[in-house]
Amino acid sequence: IILFFAGFFYLSSVKNLSEIHQLAKNVMASVMLWIIAGMQIFAIITESIPGGEEGGWINTWEGFLSAYSPPYIPALILLPFSLATVYYVYAREK
């Protein structure tokens, strides 16, 4: 639901991004996306450290690296593209 509304806010703010209200919607959508992506990155890191049920306390190197393989959620894929919002915020300040 959060990703749906973040996408809705992105699409509704595209019309006139130089207006402060549209930029605020874009920033709000980016923050929503960053929160979801940050939680997913934290979950991937914390799930890769402990070993499996049959192994020891700490995961093997192969098991550690396999935790970072795809599939990824859409928030992680859209994360680099949402950084364009930072550019628009700094461009508006200058």
Residue 5 has a pLDDT of 95
**For range 42-57, the mean pLDDT:** 82
**For range 25-31, the mean pLDDT:** 95
Q: Where are the domains of the chain?
A: 2-93
Residue 67 has a pLDDT of 87
pTM: 0.83
Q: Return mean pLDDT, the chain.
A: 89
CA 25/CA 27 separation, integer angstroms: 5
DSSP β-bridge partners for residue 50: 58
Burial class (CB within 10 angstroms; exposed 0-12, middle 13-18, buried 19+) of 33: buried
Query: Which range has the worst mean pLDDT, 26-30, 51-55, 72-76?
Result: 51-55
Residue 11 has a pLDDT of 93
How many other C-beta atoms lie within 10 A of the C-beta of residue 45? Answer: 11
Q: Cis link prior to 70 (omega < 30° from 0)?
A: no
More confident residue, 41 or 59: 41
